[in-house]
Amino acid sequence: MKALVLAGGFAKRLLPLTAETPKALLPLKGRPLLEHVLRKIEPLEGIDQVCIAVNARFEAQFALFLQRYRSRKMLRLVVEPAREEGEKLGSVGGIGHFLRSEQVEGPLLVMAGDNVLESGLFGLLLLYRERKATVVGVTDVRDPSRAARYGVVELDPKGKITSFEEKPSQPRSTLASTGVYVLTGPVVALVPQYLRDHQGDRMGDFIAWLVRREPVYGYVFPGKWFDIGSAEEYQQAERELE
């Protein structure tokens, strides 16, 4: 299995902090945000390579990070051509670009480069291996108004996703997608088809489409989750992350 960290955005909501520095390299508790994400992948057996999808504008900064970062995994950049906001590929587009570049056929762990979990990823991968199906990492934000900012998931008693709605005005649960996914090999192969047939680049829309096609499961992470999308959320993570 390979892992893909999505870090190709321009983070306009965090300006001016991200004017010259990509969001994934902003410091959090004394370390780049990306390092917190990679440290969750580091102990996972069976993942031999971690690719980081970045945009061309910030390629040099990410390359310098990789020169300094020490890992037992093979780490490499996958550079998207975008140099400004209007050219970005988005989450699903970034996966599609990665697949074209790497010709990946097997299962794939996908992580947003701006989401930080207190929990490890072992439970998520265990559920994937048990169900032999795509798994979405979720967390209970316990507040409908907060859930409305994310992809909202409903689960049946066995953990199967019965609905997935991106940023609903009236959330039907408080389980929010955390930007962590394990995609099976056959689902990875569906990404190019989805990109051909659908508009939009949001990962939540892809998962909602997938849920209507086949079984997809949700794994509820314990502990805190931080989605670094705004200055307020960035400051909260700096205060509360242990």
What pLDDT, on a 0 to 100 scale, did the predictor assign at position 117? 95
pTM, rounded to two decimals? 0.94
Q: How far apart are CA 167 and CA 149, in angstroms?
A: 5
Span 20-30, mean pLDDT? 95
Q: Looking at residue 202, what is its pLDDT? A: 87
Yes or no: say if 22 and 61 are a contact pair by the CB < 8 Å rule.
yes
Q: Collapse the DSSP code of 189 into the 3-class scheme (helix H, G, I; strand E, B; otherwise coil) and give the result.
A: helix
Nearest of 198, 200, 223 to residue 213 by alpha carbon: 198
Q: How many domains does the chain have?
A: 1
Q: pLDDT tens, 45-88?
A: 989 899 999 999 999 999 999 999 999 899 999 999 888 888 88
Domain containing 107: what range? 2-240
The separation between CA 44 and the C-alpha centre of its own chain, rounded to angstroms, equals 16
Q: How confident is the model at residue 199 (pLDDT cuts 50, 70, 90)?
A: low
pLDDT tens, 143-153?
A: 999 999 999 99
Q: In this structure, what CATH number is given to the domain that contains residue 205?
A: 3.90.550.10
* Residue-averaged pLDDT of the chain: 93
Model pLDDT, residue 52: 97
Q: How far is CA 122 from CA 24, 43, 66, 67, 169, in A?
A: 23, 9, 24, 27, 33
Q: Give 113-127 pLDDT, tens digit per residue.
A: 999 999 999 999 999
- Secondary structure E strands in the chain: 2-7, 27-28, 31-32, 49-55, 74-80, 108-112, 115-117, 134-140, 151-155, 161-166, 175-183, 216-220, 225-227
115-117 and 225-227 strand pairing: antiparallel
Centre a 10 Å sphere on the Cβ of residue 56 and count the other Cβ atoms it contains.
14
